[in-house]
Amino acid sequence: MSLEQLYQSIRTEISKVVFGQDEVIDFSLAALFSSGHVLLEGPPGVAKTLLVRTIASAISLEYRRVQMTPDLLPNDITGTAVFRQNTHDFEFRRGPVFTNFLLADEVNRASARTQSALLEAMQELSVTNDGVTHVLPEPFVMFATQNPIEQEGTYPLPLAQLDRFMFKVLVNYPAAEDERRILRDHHATGGLSDPRLMGVTPVVTASDILEARRTIRETHVRDEVIAYVQKLLNATRNDDSLSVGASPRSGLMLLMGAKSLGRFSGRDFVTPDDIQAAFIPALRHRVVLSPTAELEDTTTDDVLSQILEAVEVPR
């Protein structure tokens, strides 16, 4: 099965439960198939958690969910050493991060210390406890949801952790037609929809994901497209509206996401359109507004959109 067919099959399963939200689904799957993690931001009740549960139901991987709260400790996620009386030694008891598919729900309600416990897992795909490194299962992908930071009881994620997410995707209220379908199809469930009970079946295996990641790595990127990405990155560093521009890692994540989108369209190469489509989701959480821009109520999306319009597109 080609990557395009794999993408279409999992999209079919997701569409049984989640209506609309095409951009959110596309970038979630782009990260899944290219070794990335996803941060979903939106108000409560717009199906962020349901989307992740549905994706998990459509793939044959071990799935775990952690509800992030202010009193959650780092060891509650990564695991802890337990003393065994019979061996008179400590044994590492693995936490919920030791899974293939992890959902950190409402991640910005946990303390900064607990949020940072996920850094090594997201970047190095391992957990170190008492000097011993424990490797996570392969593949490993983390989805995190967060409420808008202006809501009460939220802790902003540090920039170092935000940088570990391939995409930050905004989950907005659905269009009127999609919302009517949600109300019509889900009203009998009382908001307790179970994707498996709604007919979602696993169509993707761990080996499919690993093969897809190899395919995406082999996707061709022309020198002109690489130069275009570099110009976009440089433009963020020279924009007065941004106090922190995009890093080289941002460019790598942008290219990986664009390669996924290219493969989803049945191509083995990346076009400037793929770069433009992935540009804002890949960079909106990696750049920082200047104080002046914040006072003017400018958003990072506004600045990035202007940069897209200003930088010449290769033919």
For 252-277, the pLDDT digits (tens) are 999 999 999 999 999 999 999 999 99
Give ranges for CATH 3.40.50.300 in the chain.
1-214
Q: How far apart are the first and last CA of the chain?
A: 32
220-253 pLDDT per residue, tens: 999 999 999 999 999 999 999 999 999 999 999 9
Fold for 1-214, please state it.
Answer: Rossmann fold (3.40.50)
**pLDDT at position 152:** 66
**Greatest pairwise CA separation for the chain in angstroms:** 70
Supply 170's token pair.
Answer: 């905004």
The torsion angle over the Cα atoms of residues 115, 51, 253 and 202, rounded to 10 degrees, is 110
* Lowest mean pLDDT, pick from 63-77, 153-167, 205-219: 153-167
What mean pLDDT, rounded, does the chain reach? 90
**pLDDT at position 129:** 84
Q: How many residues does the chain have?
A: 315
DSSP bridge partners of 144:
39, 104
DSSP state of 220: B
**pLDDT at position 58:** 93
**pLDDT at position 190:** 54
Predicted confidence band at 302 (pLDDT cuts at 50, 70, 90)?
Answer: very high
- Residue 192 reports pLDDT greater than 70: no
- Residue 87 reports pLDDT greater than 80: no
Give ranges for CATH 1.10.8.80 in the chain.
219-315
- The matching CATH number, chosen from 3.30.930.10, 3.60.15.10, 1.10.8.80, 3.10.450.40, for 219-315 is 1.10.8.80
